[in-house]
Amino acid sequence: MEELQDAAFAAEYINSAVEENDSEFLVHALNDVAKANGMSKISDESGINRQALYKMLSENGNPSYKSIVKILEALGLELQVRLKKVC
């Protein structure tokens, strides 16, 4: 879990969830990274109530796009779009 405190490692982990095109995995990855970096800190820096943060990143959570962007920003990360790799 300690390696998830490293922004580059956390970005790779979250990107792997995005590449899998699995929203549950994405929420799980965001939860793991947020917990590793401190939910209180992420709550404070994102402006999202801590209880709401726990709920949206829970197993049944469904964070909005706006919330995901706020969480990523609190982690020092940003959302990026790139061309899809064609095999």
Domain range annotation of the chain:
2-74
The pLDDT score that the predictor gives to residue 75 is: 97
* Residue type at position 23: S
Question: Do the Cβ atoms of 65 and 30 come closer than 8 Å?
Answer: no
pTM, entire model: 0.90
Residue 87 has pLDDT above 80, yes or no: no
Which pLDDT tens digit goes with each residue over 9-57? 999 999 999 999 999 999 999 999 999 999 999 999 999 999 999 999 9
The pLDDT score that the predictor gives to residue 27 is: 97
For residues 58-71, average pLDDT: 96
**What is the 8-class DSSP label of residue 20?**
T
The size of the chain, in residues, is 87
Residue 80 has pLDDT above 80, yes or no: yes
Q: Specify the higher pLDDT residue, 84 or 36.
A: 36
